[in-house]
Chains A and B, each alone.
Chain A
Amino acid sequence: MDGDTAARTNVIRVDLQLVADMVAARSRVLDVGCGDGALLDYLIHFKQVDGRGVELSQAGVNACVRHGLSVIQGDADTDLKDYPSDAFDYVILSQTLQATRDPRIVLRQLVRIGHRAIVSFSNFGFWRVRWHLAWHGRMPVAEARGLYWYDTPNIHPCTITDFVDLCRELDIAIESGLALDRRGRTRRLNSPGFFANLFGEQAVFLLRRP
């Protein structure tokens, strides 16, 4: 690729890879909640997209810009309204929906700004989560980050079924969906049902305006 290959890898987190696979090469992409820019960097260098990012934490923004990514500090809840309609081919919201104050407004903005939106989240209907709450009587702890209920930024967790219902209510079309189980196997969510909601740990949806 270039001289920076030492710092660049074509291996990204499995859920990010699922998102990346939904993006067409050489498209225009806005990654909302882009974190340290891993997905954006991958998309720019391996799918040649014209990519931009928005990130809430200033430290994350500075890290992205230091790596040559076009990222601004911003809040999904308040700043998406500034973008014109149809400005991007894809607007990505990866592992961020649960942290927004009003997921409905954010989802509407995503499909307004982008021809397509890609949304991924951890499924609260996953059997381990249910088990944890049912058996231990405690809120599940996000294993990846070890965050307890009082310090997780995720104030609006949802299940796959909840999400599908909300899309229907908002009149947002689901083009495709994938559930990812604990072993990294994917399951197509053509008709997201009981089993997907039980065994999918992560979910990724490709959305558009109807």
Chain B
Amino acid sequence: MAQLQPRHHNLHLPGVTLPGHRFAIGAETPLRLDCGASLSRLDIAYQTYGQLNADRSNAILVCHALSGDQFVMERHPVTGREGWWENMVGPGLTLDTDRYFVICANVVGGCMGTTGPSDIDPATGKPYGLAFPLITIADMVRAQKLLIDHLGIESLFCVTGGSMGGMQALQWAVSYPERVFTCVPIAAAARHSAQNIAFHEVGRQAIMADPDWCGGDYLAHDKRPRRGLAVARMAAHITYLSEATLHRKFGRNLQDRREVAYGFDADFQVESYLRHQGSAFVERFDANSYLYITRAMDYFDLASEHGGLLANAFRGTKSRFCVISFTSDWLFPTTQSREVVHALNAVAANVSFVEIATDKGHDAFLLDVPEFFATFSGFLNGAAEHRGVK
């Protein structure tokens, strides 16, 4: 059932084979999804860093965000850029790979090796496209749990992640509380807000309005909705920053010119920057994956399946929580982290909560914010002492 095997690249880039581990789940144990469908064949692509200790007590599961993947602390095989959490994960860093065994898996529905809409549907022999079932954050976590079982890890020392990664961390603590020693949701929330859903809808509409999207069937037509996906990324990218960051980085500075050109070229640096973000993104991300993963975030509401009362989701939890938010994050503002904290207090859970002062917006969880690293490290050290992780 479980086997390692080489596999093609979802993005169908010629000559590129993704490095790393694969865990294949076969038809005998289909993954049952929240939408009612099940995936009879599921590959999970994951990376690990550091060594699992003898009593298997030092494993940290890192959950990636919407546009992230499993390449946490190594050069990305497609973009060639450094890993997305290189300042967090590594020897001597907050998630110290000399001390902890760090695991990160590409989410279900993704496009970096784990089964998603750009993969071949075994039923038809063609790419899934919109035939791929709708997935949820809980489904992503179900798949990760199978991987953690496969790795023989009874209890994760820590489950953490930012943004959608934080949603998964919270879902882990609710779905498998006995498997989670500490849970560190960063710049996250227990549900997607109306504003967040609204921004995602703009992105999805941009993709679906691109004629090259072909009703989701673009791979069969040998096309890709580059313009739509780029616009979706541009709009989303604004929400990851803050006004202060945009002002500091760009102000009203002009791009390679002394005065405005009285046209619709990228006169301003901020326009040029966003266009670059958009066009770079389409080289490494699948448009349908973007639709499915944003939808999974929209559907996320931990309280809804617990009678609308978030505290009920956490009742009886023994996990230690450290909720982290950033002052300038307007996409997942501190008030939403505070709701999680209040719910945890209501069941007298062991919770720490820090709001980090920074003007870097939602993306602060990816950036060099020393106070963030220091508090996260302190929390982990306290928990490691408690658990006896050397």
Contact = CB atoms under 8 A, between A and B. Distances in A.
A67 B345 contact: no
Interface stretch (B155-163, B225-233, B247-255, B349-357): B349-357
B348 A88 contact: yes
Interface string B57-87: 0000000000000000000000000000000
Contact of A66 (B342, B348, B374, B385): B374
A3 to B, nearest CB: 9
B101 to A, nearest CB: 21
B342 A70 contact: no
A85 to B, nearest CB: 10
Given A2-B385, A58-B357, A62-B375, A69 B352 contact: yes
B355 A58 contact: yes
Most buried by A among B341, B345, B357, B382: B345
A83 B345 contact: yes
B345 A72 contact: yes
A160 interface: no
A179 to B, nearest CB: 32
B88 to A, nearest CB: 16
Given A52-B350, A58-B355, A61-B353, A69 B382 contact: yes
Given A2-B385, A65-B375, A72 B352 contact: yes
Contacts of B348: 83-84, 87-88
A148 to B, nearest CB: 28
Given A58-B355, A71-B352, A66 B378 contact: yes
B160 to A, nearest CB: 14
Most buried by A among B323, B346, B354, B383: B354
Given A72-B345, A82-B346, A83-B346, A65 B354 contact: yes
Interface residues of A, number: 24
A72 B381 CA distance: 17
A79 to B, nearest CB: 7
Nearest to B323: A72
Contacts of B347: 84
Nearest to A2: B385
B179 interface: no
A62 B375 CA distance: 6
A154 interface: no
Contact of B322 (A65, A79, A82, A88): A65
Interface string A56-90: 00100110111111111110000100111001100
B379 interface: yes
B371 interface: yes
Nearest to B356: A62
B309 to A, nearest CB: 12
Contact of A82 (B345, B354, B371): B345
B382 A72 contact: no
Contacts of A87: 348
B320 interface: yes
Contact of B352 (A58, A65, A79, A82): A65
Contacts of A64: 352
Interface in B336-390: 341-342, 345-348, 350-357, 371, 374-375, 377-379, 381-383, 385
Given A2-B385, A58-B357, A73-B353, A68 B378 contact: yes
Contacts of B383: 68
Contacts of B322: 65
Contact of B354 (A50, A73, A84, A88): A73
A82 B353 contact: no
Contacts of A73: 353-355
A162 B375 CA distance: 40
A68 B382 contact: yes
Most buried by B among A4, A69, A72: A72
Contacts of B371: 62
A70 B351 contact: yes
Interface string B138-161: 000000000000000000000000
Nearest to A66: B378
B354 A61 contact: yes
B354 A58 contact: yes
A50 B318 CA distance: 12
B375 to A, nearest CB: 5
Nearest to A30: B348
Interface in A123-145: none
Contact of B346 (A67, A84, A88): A84
A50 to B, nearest CB: 8
Interface string A71-111: 11110000100111001100000000000000000000000
Nearest to B346: A82
Contacts of A66: 374-375, 377-378
Contacts of B341: 72
23 contacts: A50-B350, A52-B350, A64-B352, A66-B374, A66-B375, A66-B377, A66-B378, A67-B378, A68-B378, A68-B379, A68-B381, A69-B352, A70-B320, A70-B352, A72-B323, A72-B341, A72-B345, A73-B353, A73-B354, A74-B353, A82-B345, A84-B346, A88-B348
Interface of A: 2, 4, 50, 52, 58, 61-62, 64-74, 79, 82-84, 87-88
